[in-house]
């Protein structure tokens, strides 16, 4: 079945360093969403990408959707301790039953 993988699984960075997580789908996606989940919390929507090659920025966060719409990335510049959490991508597909497939997640720890 369709799978969405993320790498790395874990990332520890020093505060101020950059961080990137990559999301790869086994099938072409209609769109992709990114979520952040703090420890003990629930996923919080960050952004949605729809177009091939799309790049969106939110302050220190940069999101990219691949040209083939099978991969995406999230880059955080100059991490802060408030960036701690697990970042999930979630892709949707119009093949078969509509549903969102969440990635495996990347857990980010920021060391002060």
Partner 1 sequence: ETGVTQSPTHLIKTRGQQVTLRCSSQSGHNTVSWYQQALGQGPQFIFQYYREEENGRGNFPPRFSGLQFPNYSSELNVNALELDDSALYLCASSASGGGWLDTQYFGPGTRLTVL
Q: Which residues bind partner 1 (CB under 8 A)?
A: 1, 30-31, 33, 35, 41-45, 48, 50, 88, 90, 92, 94, 97-105
Spatial contact of 110 and 101, defined as CB atoms under 8 Å apart: no
Nearer to partner 1, 44 or 78 (CB): 44
Provide the 3-class DSSP secondary structure of residue 83: helix
Least separation in angstroms between residue 3's CB and partner 1 is 11
The distance of closest approach from Cβ of residue 16 to partner 1 in the complex, given in angstroms and rounded to an integer, is 27
Fill in the DSSP letter of residue 95.
Answer: S
Instruction: Give whichever of 40 and 59 is closer to partner 1, judged by the CB atom.
Output: 40
SS3 82: helix
Q: Which are the contacts of 92, defined by CB distance < 8 A and separation ≥ 6?
A: 29, 30, 31, 32, 33, 98, 99, 100, 101
In the complex, the smallest distance separating the C-beta of residue 98 from partner 1, rounded to whole angstroms, is 5
CA dihedral for 93, 95, 98, 104, sign (positive or negative): negative
Nearer Cβ to partner 1, position 31 or 64?
31
Task: Name the residue nearer to partner 1 (CB basis): 77 or 107.
Answer: 107
Q: How far apart are CB 47 and partner 1 at their closest, in Å?
A: 9
């Amino acid at each position: 079945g369709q799978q969405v993988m993320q790498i790395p699984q874990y990332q520890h960075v020093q505060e101020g360093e950059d961080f990137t997580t990559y999301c790869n789908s086994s099938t072409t996606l209609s769109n992709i969403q990114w979520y952040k989940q703090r420890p003990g919390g629930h996923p919080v929507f960050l952004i949605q990408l729809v177009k091939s090659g799309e790049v969106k920025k939110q302050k220190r966060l940069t999101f990219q959707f691949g040209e083939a719409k099978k991969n995406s990335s999230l880059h955080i510049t100059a991490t802060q301790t408030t960036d701690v959490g697990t970042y999930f991508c979630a892709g949707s597909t119009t093949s078969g039953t509509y549903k969102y497939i969440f990635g495996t997640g990347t857990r980010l720890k920021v060391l002060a």
